[in-house]
Amino acid sequence: MKQGPRIITVANQKGGVGKTTTAINLATALAAIGERVLIVDLDPQGNASTGLGIDKQDRKVSSYDVLTGELTIGEAAIATAVPGLSIVPSTLDLLGVEMEIASAPDRVLRLRNALSRNTAEETGFSYVLIDCPPSLNLLTLNSMAAADSVLVPLQCEFFALEGLSQLLETVEQVRRSINPSLTIQGIVLTMFDRRNNLANQVVEDVRAHMGEKVYETIIPRNVRVSEAPSHGKPAILYDLACAGSQAYLQLASEVIRRERRLQAA
């Protein structure tokens, strides 16, 4: 069995589908049950960092430093206000990193190597969640090369399935080339509005196409969830009782169940 933290990358090349919201709230839920959790913010926009209350001027270290080999994961991880949850924040420097490492032979393996250099004993993390940019670029490839599994948020809208086959094909390529044990953790339907007939149809379609890969939990569209980032807090801390937070807690228990199964396999 592999040592070290379970590494889950939250990926979808579409923007605005709930990647960052899912990464933050899943991480918070895992931390709340006593896991030691690290988020690696790989999106130059830095929404996960902002949403966890890390102001831009406080980002003295970043995932850029990790990818360029300047810092170890342990050195680049900073504590958040959530007990048990740390983050490697991102800065706009990340926009240039693809060019900078493009010709390095290990360009796709930068994050993987950084994560494996720090043993579990050194950093103590039991889970690492990676928040990807809305692109299948070198950053996302780095995340897939480093991860045990991929968690895919899909927004309940008409074009939900569009782009999914390209994402799954990329996972397959990564599996064939650099990370044979990479699996799909699951697909989570987000921003569901049950009054919307189309949304109900989307849920049916996605379940019909993707079967048991789709989590039972569906994340509802919830105004409290969308307000939380502007307060620098995960929804689960901002309003634990709201439907969105409760759904993320439920998702966390499904993720854990699947991780245990994957780990045992």
CB 152 within 8 A of CB 17: no
Query: Could you give the string, one character per residue 159-198, with x where binding to Mg ion holds by CB under 5 A and - elsewhere?
Result: ----------------------------------------
183 SS3 class: strand
The option from Mg ion, ligand ADP, none interacting with 149 (CB < 5 to 8 A, set by class) reads none
Q: Tell me: does residue 19 bind Mg ion (CB under 5 A).
A: yes
Beta carbon nearer to Mg ion, 23 or 77: 23
Beta carbon nearer to Mg ion, 44 or 186: 44
Side chain identity at 230, as an amino acid letter?
Answer: S
Minimum CB separation of residue 20 from ligand ADP in Å reads 3
The option from Mg ion, ligand ADP, none interacting with 59 (CB < 5 to 8 A, set by class) reads none
- Look at the chain and count its residues: 265
Rounded-to-integer distance, Cα 93 and Cα 96, Å: 6
Place of tokens 């007990």: 83
Q: Tell me: does residue 47 bind Mg ion (CB under 5 A).
A: yes
Task: Point out which residues bind ligand ADP (CB under 6 A).
Answer: 15-21, 47, 134, 190-191, 219, 221-222, 225-226, 229, 244
Minimum CB separation of residue 151 from Mg ion in Å reads 13
Exposure class string for 150-161: b at 16+ Cβ within 10 A, else e: bbbbbbbbeebe
Rounded-to-integer distance, Cα 30 and Cα 27, Å: 5
Longest dimension (CA), the chain: 51
Rounded-to-integer distance, Cα 108 and Cα 98, Å: 10
Which span (15-23, 116-124, 143-151, 229-237) binds Mg ion, by CB under 5 A? 15-23
Beta carbon nearer to ligand ADP, 221 or 258: 221
Minimum CB separation of residue 23 from Mg ion in Å reads 8
